[in-house]
């Protein structure tokens, strides 16, 4: 069974937990990962499992997580449940502030640059998170027009990630003793490309089992009417999407919080509204996800495929064949064995996510 290492935020070693009943480690490409650990209270190293300390699986120190929750039971000789979030969750402790003497923070940048600007402005240059740094900006992704004011930093970064496809994380750098915010586009490992080795998942290749296929248009919208500043006939309106007939599914987006600041052209303001429309359409996208346990040895995890890669999924029995990004991977450590579960594509939002979307809308 993999060893769990416990450190403090200053990277000081506290102890190892080698005996536990289960560890569930969830990785997310667009959002914030999490973990849940179960073990007996009498095992070595358990005394270091306290709120605020960090843990990681030995051999993969880059993906650390912070302990947020500890619950102890006196049944069955004493047990402990520990939960927490990936270091990415630190961004949820900040909101976006506008620059001094400005009502809003407004910019148009490539997606990677936009995410890094938000983090630099709100978690490093001002109200800094201890030892947080940003990796070099490669300006990847399409341009994103953004205007933000007192919004959740993590939510703003995640919205850009979902629209652009570019993933993000905070990586623990044990060598330099800092925490690096970084972005990545993921690899194209689909059957059609010939640059990299292909990653194809199917029952026929014996690398999938316990499949769940979900296709849903229950909350699907493909045209957004985005209403910005102004009143009545003077209100700025932008339409995003170009679908007609029965398949046209309209969504109204109240974007009066986006303001046309002094010196901003009509085209620049319309691009802000368009970006907001794209974000809301992404939240209301058609659900097409394939969840499965990964099995077999013909593809090696973290080598032949990883979180964020775009792969080919094929299921002859269900008539499924599509190229989708791996958006979530869950590692399950139990009884000396490691099981992997993956989500390919867009999943239906949870109840909490749906409530947040309605509040933002």
Q: What is the CATH number of the domain that holds 134?
A: 3.55.50
**152 and 178 belong to one structural domain:** yes
Phi, psi of 356 (to 5 degrees): -60, -40
Hey, how many other C-beta atoms are within 10 angstroms of the C-beta on 132? 18
Shared domain for 76 and 25, answered yes or no, is yes
| Domain end call among 185, 200, 233 | 185
> Is residue 253 included in any domain, yes or no?
yes
In a domain, 257, yes or no: yes
Q: Please count the other Cβ atoms lying within 10 Å of the Cβ belonging to residue 87.
A: 26
On the question of pLDDT at 124 being above 50, the answer is yes
pLDDT at residue 296, rounded to an integer: 75
Domain end: 166, 185, 204, which one? 185
Does 322 lie in the same domain as 210?
yes
User: Does any domain span residue 50?
Assistant: yes
Distance separating alpha carbons of residues 99 and 121, to the nearest angstrom: 8
Residue 152 DSSP label: B
Residues contacting residue 134 through CB under 8 Å, at least 6 positions apart:
116, 119, 120, 124, 180, 181, 182
Residue 120 CB: number of other CB atoms within 10 A? Answer: 18
Residue 335 lies inside a defined structural domain of this protein: no
- Show the CA angle centred on residue 141, arms to residues 138 and 146, nearest 5°: 105
Q: How far apart are the first and last CA of the chain?
A: 45
Structural element, H or E, at residue 358: helix 351-360
Average pLDDT (37-47) is 94
Question: Could you tell me if 40 and 128 lie in one domain?
Answer: no
207 assigned to some structural domain: yes
- pLDDT at residue 130 in the model: 97
Strands 250-254 vs 223-227: parallel, antiparallel or unpaired? parallel
Count how many domains the chain has: 4
> Does 199 share its domain with 345?
yes
User: Backbone phi, then psi, for 280, in 5-degree steps?
Assistant: -70, -35
pLDDT tens-digit profile of 158-170? 999 999 999 999 9
Determine how many CB atoms are found less than 10 A away from the CB of residue 66.
17
CA quadruple 177, 33, 99, 269: dihedral sign: positive
Does 168 lie in the same domain as 99?
yes
pLDDT tens-digit readout, 289-318 = 899 999 877 899 999 999 999 999 998 888
pLDDT(350) > 80: no
Q: How far apart are CA 194 and CA 209, in angstroms?
A: 27
In a domain, 193, yes or no: yes
Residues 172, 45 share a domain: no
Same domain, residue pair 57 and 153 = no
256-281 tens-digit pLDDT: 999 998 889 999 999 999 999 999 99
In a domain, 117, yes or no: yes
Cα 233 from Cα 218, distance rounded (Å): 32
Can you give the pLDDT at residue 351? 42
Q: Which domain holds residue 308?
A: 186-220+285-329+340-361
What is the pLDDT of the chain when averaged over all its residues?
A: 92
CB 69 within 8 A of CB 89: no
Q: Say if residue 291 is in the same domain as residue 249.
A: no
212 and 356 fall within a common domain: yes
Question: Which of the listed residues 28, 59, 85 is the one where a domain comes to its end?
Answer: 85
Half-sphere CA count of 62, side-chain side, radius 13 A: 7
Residues 157 and 231 in one domain: no
Backbone angles phi, psi at 282, to 5 degrees: -65, -40
pLDDT reported for residue 257 = 92
The answer to whether residues 38 and 111 belong to one domain is no
The helix (run of H) or strand (run of E) holding residue 277 is helix 266-283
Q: Tell whether 334 is covered by a domain.
A: no
Q: Where are the alpha helices (DSSP H) in 130-196?
A: 153-164
By three-state DSSP, how is residue 84 classified?
A: strand
Phi, psi of 287 (to 5 degrees): -80, 125
């Amino acid at each position: 069974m993999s060893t769990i290492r416990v450190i403090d935020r200053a990277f000081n070693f506290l102890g190892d937990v080698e005996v536990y009943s289960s560890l569930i480690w969830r990785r997310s490409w667009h959002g914030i990962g999490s973990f849940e650990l179960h073990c007996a209270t009498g095992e070595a190293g358990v005394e270091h499992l306290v709120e605020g300390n960090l843990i990681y699986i030995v051999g993969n120190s880059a993906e650390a997580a912070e302990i947020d929750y500890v619950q102890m039971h006196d049944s069955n000789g004493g047990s402990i449940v520990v939960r927490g979030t990936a270091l990415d969750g630190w961004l949820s402790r900040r909101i976006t502030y506008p620059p001094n003497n400005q009502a809003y923070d407004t910019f148009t940048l490539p997606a990677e640059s936009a995410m890094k600007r938000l983090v630099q402005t709100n978690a490093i240059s001002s109200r800094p998170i201890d030892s947080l740094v940003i990796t070099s900006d490669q300006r990847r992704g399409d341009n994103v027009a953004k205007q933000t004011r007192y919004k959740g930093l993590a939510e703003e970064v995640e919205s850009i990630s979902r629209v652009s496809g570019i993933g993000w994380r905070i990586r623990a750098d044990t060598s330099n003793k800092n925490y690096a915010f970084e972005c990545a586009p993921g690899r194209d490992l689909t059957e059609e490309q010939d640059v990299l080795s292909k990653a194809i998942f199917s029952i026929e290749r014996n690398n999938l089992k316990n499949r769940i296929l979900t296709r849903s248009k229950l909350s699907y919208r493909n045209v957004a009417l985005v209403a910005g500043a102004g009143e009545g006939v003077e209100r700025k309106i932008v339409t995003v999407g170009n679908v007609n007939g029965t398949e046209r599914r309209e969504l109204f987006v109240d974007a009066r919080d986006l303001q046309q600041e002094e010196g901003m052209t009509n085209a620049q303001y319309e691009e802000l509204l368009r970006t907001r429309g794209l974000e809301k359409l992404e939240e209301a996208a058609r659900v097409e996800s394939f969840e499965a346990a990964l099995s077999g040895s013909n593809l090696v995890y973290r080598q032949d495929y990883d979180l964020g890669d775009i792969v080919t999924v094929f299921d002859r029995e269900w008539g499924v064949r599509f190229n989708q990004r791996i958006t979530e991977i869950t590692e399950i450590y139990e009884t000396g064995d490691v099981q992997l579960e993956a989500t390919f594509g867009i999943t239906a939002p949870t109840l909490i996510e749906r409530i947040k979307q309605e509040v933002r809308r």
